[in-house]
Structure 1
Amino acid sequence: MTRVSSLRLGLVLPAVLFGLGVGHAQSSNGQGFFIPHPKAPPVSHSVPVRAQPMIQQQQQGMPEQGQQPGTQAIPPQKLPPIPQLPALPKENAPPAPVMGVLSVPEVMQQSTAAQGVEKIIEARRQKLAAEAQADQQKWEGEQKTITGEKAKLSKAALATKEQALQREIEEAQVDFHNRNLAIEVSARGALGKIESTLIAVIRQVAQAHGMNLVLHRSQVALNVNGFDISKEVAAHLNTILPSVAVPPAVVPKMANAPAKK
C-alpha cells in the first residue's frame, strides 16, 4: 500500500460532528422537580444491602472480577461497628403531599424559545456540514492529482506532497471538531437559560395549585389529567420567555495551540 492510498483513511471526517439536538433541554439529573418544604425527613443510615454480597465474597476469599490468577487481592476488611447516636428532638411531620405531574419534553416542544434555539443551531450545523463536504471533495481531487503525477515525480517530491495533504486533512479535522464543539456550547448556553426559567415557572404554577410535589410524568405509572400541569407551564413559559438569544459559536483558543502561519 502506497502512502497515497493510505491517505484515504484520513478523508473520513468524524461522525460525531453533527449529533447535537435540543434534547439537552431536559433536566440533566433525570429527577423530578420538587418544591422544597422547610424540613426534610430524617436520612436513613442503614448499610446498603447491595454492598453485602461483595463484602461476603471478599471474606470468603473469592477472586474479584477482572483479577488475574496469582495476583494479590485486597485483604477483606470488616465494617466498623455502627455508632449508636442519640435521638434528635422531635420535629413536625412533613405536610401531606399534593402532587402534580409534568412532561418536560412536551413543554420544550411547545416552547417558542426552544424552537428558536433549535432553528439557529440547525442552521449552524448545516453550514458546518456543507464546509466539511466541500473540503472532502477538495481532498479527493488533490489525492487524484498526486496519484496521476506519481510516475512523473521523484520519491522525495511525491512524499512531500503526500505529507502536505495529510497535514491539511488532520488540521481540518481538528478545526471541524472544535467548531462543532463551539456550536454545542452555544446551544447549551441558550438552553440553560430556558431550563432555569422553566424551573421557576414550574414552581410558580405548582404554588398556584397548592402543589408541594411535582414529578416527571414518565416516572408515574398512572395519573389523571387533573394532575398534569404541562400545558399550563408551557403557556406561562412562552409568556415569560418567548425567545432567547443564542451565543455565537466561538472556538476557544488553546494555550498550547501552534500559531497559524
Structure 2
Amino acid sequence: MMPARPAVAALAALLIPVLSPGGALAQSDPGFFIPPQQGGGQSRPAQAPARPAQQQPQRPPAQAQRSPQPNPAPLPPGQPPPAAVIGIVDVPEIQRNSTAFNSVREEVERRRQRLNDDLQREQTRWREEQTTLANQRATMNPDQLRQRERELQERITDSQRVFRDRSRAIEQVAQGALQEIEQALAVVIRQVAASRNVNLVLPRPLVIFNDAPFDLTDEISQQVNRVLRNVTLPPEGQAPAQPAAQGGAPGGQAPAARPAQPPTPPAQPQQPRR
C-alpha cells in the first residue's frame, strides 16, 4: 500500500494550482478555503483569499461635466411699481343686491319649474299607456302587440328628446344672462376703482381684516343697479343664437352661483313584457 502515497501526492500537486487563490475556481469563489497539504514538505498557513478590488463608481460622461455658466449681467434699474392702493369687493353680495341678477334667477327658476311639471305629466301618461297596453295584451295577436309597443316606444323617445332640448335651451339662456351681468360688473368695478385711485382690488373672502374705507361693495352695488337694471331673455323655447361661454367672475373669485340644474329626463321606461 506504500506506492499509493506518491500517486496521491502527484494528484494533489496537480489540483493545488487549480484550487489556489489564483486558480480558476478560486476566482469564481474568492472565499474558497484550501487546507494545508500533508506530507511532502512543511505546511504553510492558508492565505486569506484576496478580495476583489472595489469597483470605482463610473464617472458621468465628459459632456455632462460642464463648466459653470457665468452669471448674467445685471439689468439696468427699471421703474419701480406704484404703491398699492387696495380696495375690497364682495362679488356674491353684489349679486344678491343686483336687480338684474335676481330677475334672471327668478325667470330661469320659473322655466325650470314648468319644464319639471311638463315632465311629470308626460311620465304619468307613459305609465298609463303602458298599463293599458298590458291589459289589452290578451286581446291582440303578436303582430298587433309588437306594433303598439313600437309606437309607444317611439313616442317616449321623441318626448325625451324634446325635454333634453328644452333643458339645454334654459341652460344657455341662464349662462348668457349671467355673462352679461358679469361683464357689466367688471366695468363698474374698474370705474369705481379709478374714481378712488385704487389700483388693486381684492375679493372680500380672501381678506381677514379691513377698515370700512377699503370696502367698495356698497358703491359698486348701487352703480350696477343704475347701469343694468334687468337683462332681456329670449322667449322660452328659443335658445340664444350663439351660446355664451362661461367666464370667470371679476375680483379673482370663482364664477357666481348659477341657477339649479334642470331636471334630468327619466330613464327610458321598460317595455311591457310579451
> 1 CA distance for matches of 2:161 and 2:71?
58
1:211 — aligned with what?
198
2:245 — aligned with what?
none
CA 1:141/1:188 → structure 2, altered by over 3 Å: closer, same or farther? Answer: same
Counterpart residue type for residue 238 of structure 2: V
Q: 2:160 aligns with which of 167, 173, 177?
A: 173
2:187 — aligned with what?
200
Greater displacement, 99-108 / 156-165 = 156-165
Q: 1:126 aligns with which of 109, 113, 123?
A: 113
> 2 CA distance for matches of 1:218 and 1:141?
53
CA 1:104/1:118 → structure 2, altered by over 3 Å: closer, same or farther? Answer: same
Equivalent position SS for 2:138: coil
Kindly report which structure 2 residues correspond to 1:79-118, keeping only aligned pairs within 5 A, or say none: 88-118=75-105
TM-score (norm 1): 0.60
Counterpart residue type for residue 250 of structure 1: Q
CA 1:165/1:83 → structure 2, altered by over 3 Å: closer, same or farther? Answer: farther
Bigger radius of gyration among the two: 2
1:223 has 2:210 as partner: yes
Q: 2:238 aligns with which of 250, 253, 256?
A: 250
CA 1:251/1:203 → structure 2, altered by over 3 Å: closer, same or farther? Answer: closer
Q: Which has the higher contact order (CA 8 A, sep 6+)?
A: 1
Equivalent position SS for 1:185: helix
Whether the aligned pair in 2 keeps the contact of 1:190 and 1:247 (CA below 8 Å) is no
1:186 has 2:153 as partner: no
> 2 CA distance for matches of 1:188 and 1:226?
34
> 2 CA distance for matches of 1:157 and 1:180?
35
CA apart distance, 1:89: 4.6
1:239 has 2:226 as partner: yes
1:164 — aligned with what?
151
Equivalent position SS for 2:113: helix
1:145-176, Cα deviation, whole Å (9 max, x unpaired): 01111111122222222222222212211211
CA apart distance, 1:84: 8.0
CA 1:251/1:110 → structure 2, altered by over 3 Å: closer, same or farther? Answer: closer
> 2 CA distance for matches of 1:252 and 1:112?
22
> 2 CA distance for matches of 1:245 and 1:252?
11
> 2 CA distance for matches of 1:227 and 1:251?
41
Counterpart residue type for residue 109 of structure 1: R
Over the matched positions of the two proteins, sequence identity in percent amounts to 39
> 2 CA distance for matches of 1:156 and 1:182?
40
CA apart distance, 1:130: 1.6
Aligned length: 173
Gaps of 5+ in 1: 1-81, 254-261
Greater displacement, 101-110 / 242-251 = 242-251
Equivalent position SS for 1:100: strand
CA 1:148/1:88 → structure 2, altered by over 3 Å: closer, same or farther? Answer: farther
> 2 CA distance for matches of 1:236 and 1:88?
44
1:146 — aligned with what?
133
CA apart distance, 1:91: 2.3
> 2 CA distance for matches of 1:97 and 1:103?
19
TM-score (norm 2): 0.58
> 2 CA distance for matches of 1:200 and 1:222?
26
Whether the aligned pair in 2 keeps the contact of 1:201 and 1:237 (CA below 8 Å) is yes
